[in-house]
Amino acid sequence: MLAIAQLENLLQSLAQVGLQAEVRQGDESSLLVFVRASEKRLKRAVYRSRVRDWLYGIRNAEPTSANSTETQTEAERLRVVHQMITHPGEEGGAGITPNHGEWKNVTAIFPLHDIETNKTWMREWSKKTFLSDDDLDQIRNKFGESVGFYFSFLQSYFRFLIFPAVFGFSCWFLLGGFSLIYTAVNCLWCIIFVEYWKRQEVDLSCRWETKNVSVVRTNRREFKPEKEVIDEGTGEKRGVFPATKRMQRQLLQIPFALLAAIALGAIIATCFAIEIFISELYNGPLKTYLIFIPTILVSALVPTMSAILTSIATKLNDYENHETKDAYDVALTQKVFVINFITSYLPIFLTAFVYVPFASLIVPYLDVFHLTVRPFVSKEHAVAKQSHFQIDPARLRNQVIYFTVTAQIVGFAMETIVPYLKQHALRKYKKYNKERNGKLERNGDKESPERPAIVFDDPAEEVQFLARVRNEVELSEYDVTDDLREMCIQFGYLALFSPTWPLVPLSFFVNNWIELRSDFFKICMEFRRPVPLRTDSIGPWLDSLGFLSWVGSITSAALVYMFSGNAQHGPNGEPTDIKGWALLLTIFFSEHLYLIVRYVVRAAMARIEPPNSRKERADRYLMRKRYLESSINAEGDEDDEEDELASQSQAPEISRTSLEDDARKASLHGADPAARFWLHQRGWTESAQVGAGIIQAQPVRGSVKKQQ
């Protein structure tokens, strides 16, 4: 039987790399294989991984032998065991690749949750406002650097939000929306935050010893090389896919971005138009119900279209045939960011830069079906109605409030509470189903087409443990990218539109207090424990943050220019004084001021070295110094005699002998003038005597020149 053969193969491969396995029953159609590495084996694997780190320059201290007592974190152990299972044979692993090739029946490899610790932490953190560096270290030690970096980022962001939250509240209270001061401070804050985080990343990667970790890249199994070449340098055979060909394929990103913009843009703009039409022009029957149509349409169509586009993006990304997992992830992240950018910000862009300035021109054309011209209203009346159309000045603000408050709460619910409830409901349903089936079976009811539930014959003492494991198997895999994306998009609202409503940072501050805890809860309860991954940054999201903050300098300036005068222009809010050239000039100056300030902040930040980075540098220096000293000592002995010769402080007496000596030497070297040149003065004292003679002969004593 194939399944049994595969299982044997699996167990044999695991045993070969020294992993002990225990097989238990999974659910109806699966097995659980528990894997454990012996202490000795694990130590050796950890040592080997550390040696590789050292060679790639990730760690500074050379790892001492395999039996060293250097502490291993839980994350390191789990990572190494995971590498033992998944790495290819030539790197000392079992080469098991879930869902791929001969291992396609291996659905997942993951560690088990440490329930006790998780509970303790959740309890502790709910009492604190900020997580300490120690807490972050703990997260990293449990879940690996990748999750650690996310929490660290979230914590930094949360802490940084205090200032704009307070400042925004004051501005809102004193100055209202679209205040120039708030906008300038907000832009500056964005720059400082992004640059601070860059610095913080360096600091963390030194603290967690993952600097340059991206150098050690794991190749993707899905990579299809075009040809195999033998590497000249290393003599190894390796698959190659020409970079130019990949770039040609990447050109497809341009039509993709256009497609995404048009598809999503069309949906959003249409719904937007319908909404305005119904709410502000239409006065017919059922208005109270019709008003919900656009919301329903948006809620239904946008996620659908996003899902379609994401799947297209994934296919495109597969087609680009990246060689390493990192490159693949970066490329996919960029594509996903484009989709998210459009869905998140386009509605507000439409309101601010299309609806407000051009509504009075566009709106009358919205009535394509002449729905407002109904038989019982005279044509004149309808026209009068249209010309009385007024822009709703609160629309922009309301929309920003919707996206920064309501949508955040909804998102939190959808992401944390709903899955939790669903999961509980599902478990209850399964249990109920099982009980019913059991009853049916016991009742001898043969009509039931359902397959009989398995009765797990677990050892009594393991029942509880295996039940927990089976629950964890049913959870889905955690991907830190989703959480990072959420934060990045949130930052975008702040950078792009917060001048509209300066309470945005306050709202985010509150939201992120919850987010910081709920995300941890989510990882512990709603996902399988993630395999610890090492990383030295939050990856391409950092670029996205920088990009958003840059775009923010443009939109903020435009918003302030267009709307800040509103109060003076009366309540209709129609800005008539807007001049194209003035708007563009504002944007031009704002953007370049932004770039200059960013340059200055960057230069200033570069000067201040993060503490852990300094420590890392000192470590490196010490290591080097030890080496240098030992190498100099090693060869110092042989040269000692020469040293004495060279530094002898007594001139050889100029006697008859020495003069004869000189003459002999001179004749020995014959006609070679270069050799004779160097024979004039012997020892430094003789040179000094000659020099003194010259100096005394000189009319003016002055500078001494020296040449090699």
Residue 217 identity: R
Tell me the HSE value of 219 on the side-chain side, using a 13 A CA sphere.
Answer: 14
Q: Which residue in the set 73, 74, 112, 180 belongs to the binding site for its own copies (CB under 8 A)?
A: 112
Q: Is 31 near its own copies (CB under 8 A)?
A: yes
Specify the stretch interacting with its own copies by CB under 8 A; choose among 157-165, 437-445, 482-490, 641-649: 641-649
Distance in angstroms (rounded) separating the CA atoms of residues 403 and 504: 10
Specify the stretch interacting with its own copies by CB under 8 A; choose among 307-315, 481-489, 515-523, 681-689: 681-689
Q: Is 198 near its own copies (CB under 8 A)?
A: no
Q: Is 192 near its own copies (CB under 8 A)?
A: no
Q: Which residue in the set 46, 97, 111, 158 belongs to the binding site for its own copies (CB under 8 A)?
A: 111
Any residues with CB less than 8 A from the CB of 490 and at least 6 apart, and which?
Answer: 408, 508, 511, 512
Closer of 389 and 547 to its own copies (Cβ): 547
User: Closest by alpha carbon to 350, among 290, 291, 403?
Assistant: 403
3-state secondary structure of 505: helix
Closer of 273 and 548 to its own copies (Cβ): 548
Residue 396 identity: L
Phi, psi dihedrals of residue 277, rounded to the nearest 5°: -60, -50
Q: Which residue in the set 115, 639, 652, 663 belongs to the binding site for its own copies (CB under 8 A)?
A: 639
**Token pair belonging to 231:** 């590497």
Chain residues 580-599 in contact with its own copies, contact rule CB under 8 A: 580-581, 583-585, 587-588
Min. distance of Cβ 262 from its own copies in angstroms?
19
Min. distance of Cβ 627 from its own copies in angstroms?
5
Tokens 């703990």, located at residue: 138
Closer of 380 and 457 to its own copies (Cβ): 457
Q: Is 530 left (phi over 0), alpha (psi -120 to 50) or beta?
A: beta
Closer of 365 and 677 to its own copies (Cβ): 677
Tokens 């020495």, located at residue: 658
Q: Which residue in the set 42, 47, 400, 496 belongs to the binding site for its own copies (CB under 8 A)?
A: 47
Min. distance of Cβ 680 from its own copies in angstroms?
6
Helical axes 504-525 vs 115-125, angle rounded to 10°:
160
Closer of 502 and 530 to its own copies (Cβ): 530
Min. distance of Cβ 427 from its own copies in angstroms?
18
Q: What b-and-e string marks burial along 43-66, b requiring 16 or more CB atoms within 10 Å of the CB?
A: bbbbbbbbeebeeeebbbeebeeb
Tokens 């560690």, located at residue: 111
Tokens 């055979």, located at residue: 237
**Token pair belonging to 530:** 């993630």
The answer to whether the Cα torsion of 169, 174, 179, 181 is positive or negative is negative
Min. distance of Cβ 599 from its own copies in angstroms?
10
Closer of 266 and 454 to its own copies (Cβ): 454
Q: Which residue in the set 32, 175, 185, 257 belongs to the binding site for its own copies (CB under 8 A)?
A: 32
Closer of 13 and 179 to its own copies (Cβ): 13
Tell me the HSE value of 578 on the side-chain side, using a 13 A CA sphere.
Answer: 20
In angstroms, how far apart are the furthest CA atoms of the chain? 137
Specify the stretch interacting with its own copies by CB under 8 A; choose among 25-33, 131-139, 174-182, 498-506: 25-33
Chain residues 600-619 in contact with its own copies, contact rule CB under 8 A: 604, 607-608, 614-615, 617-619
Q: Which residue in the set 7, 293, 312, 525 belongs to the binding site for its own copies (CB under 8 A)?
A: 7
Min. distance of Cβ 647 from its own copies in angstroms?
5
Q: Which residue in the set 387, 568, 647, 655 belongs to the binding site for its own copies (CB under 8 A)?
A: 647
Q: Is 199 near its own copies (CB under 8 A)?
A: no
Closer of 378 and 471 to its own copies (Cβ): 471
Chain residues 229-288 in contact with its own copies, contact rule CB under 8 A: 231-234, 243-244, 246-247
Q: Which residue in the set 75, 106, 147, 400 belongs to the binding site for its own copies (CB under 8 A)?
A: 106
Q: Is 683 near its own copies (CB under 8 A)?
A: yes
Min. distance of Cβ 523 from its own copies in angstroms?
17
Q: Which residue in the set 289, 369, 376, 677 belongs to the binding site for its own copies (CB under 8 A)?
A: 677
Phi, psi dihedrals of residue 70, rounded to the nearest 5°: -55, 135
Closer of 248 and 390 to its own copies (Cβ): 248
Chain residues 407-466 in contact with its own copies, contact rule CB under 8 A: 451-452, 454, 459, 461-462, 465
Binding mask 205-234 for its own copies (x = CB under 8 A): --------------------------xxxx
- Which run of H or of E encompasses 659? helix 656-669
> How many residues of this chain bind its own copies (CB under 8 A)?
137
Distance in angstroms (rounded) separating the CA atoms of residues 67 and 56: 22
Q: Is 319 near its own copies (CB under 8 A)?
A: no
Chain residues 54-73 in contact with its own copies, contact rule CB under 8 A: 55-57, 65-66
Distance in angstroms (rounded) separating the CA atoms of residues 17 and 222: 24
3-state secondary structure of 20: strand
Q: Is 576 near its own copies (CB under 8 A)?
A: no
Q: Is 642 near its own copies (CB under 8 A)?
A: yes
Specify the stretch interacting with its own copies by CB under 8 A; choose among 107-115, 394-402, 422-430, 431-439: 107-115
Specify the stretch interacting with its own copies by CB under 8 A; choose among 370-378, 422-430, 467-475, 501-509: 467-475
DSSP for 368-424 reads TT--S--TTS-HHHHHHHHHT----THHHHHHHHIIIIIHHHHHHIIIIIHHHHHHH
Q: Is 654 near its own copies (CB under 8 A)?
A: no
Min. distance of Cβ 578 from its own copies in angstroms?
11
3-state secondary structure of 41: helix
Q: Is 113 near its own copies (CB under 8 A)?
A: no
Distance in angstroms (rounded) separating the CA atoms of residues 412 and 195: 28
Min. distance of Cβ 72 from its own copies in angstroms?
15
Closer of 78 and 503 to its own copies (Cβ): 78
Min. distance of Cβ 438 from its own copies in angstroms?
15
Specify the stretch interacting with its own copies by CB under 8 A; choose among 184-192, 287-295, 373-381, 579-587: 579-587
Specify the stretch interacting with its own copies by CB under 8 A; choose among 159-167, 187-195, 259-267, 688-696: 688-696
CB 511 within 8 A of CB 408: yes
Q: Is 21 near its own copies (CB under 8 A)?
A: yes
The torsion angle over the Cα atoms of residues 95, 96, 97 and 101, rounded to 10 degrees, is 90
- Which run of H or of E encompasses 432? helix 418-442
Residue 232 identity: E
Residue 206 identity: C
**Partners of 324 in the β-ladder:** 219
CB 59 within 8 A of CB 47: no
Specify the stretch interacting with its own copies by CB under 8 A; choose among 2-10, 153-161, 272-280, 393-401: 2-10
Q: Is 687 near its own copies (CB under 8 A)?
A: yes
Distance in angstroms (rounded) separating the CA atoms of residues 277 and 287: 11
Distance in angstroms (rounded) separating the CA atoms of residues 139 and 149: 9
Q: What b-and-e string marks burial along 457-474, b requiring 16 or more CB atoms within 10 Å of the CB?
A: eeeeeeeeebeebbebbe
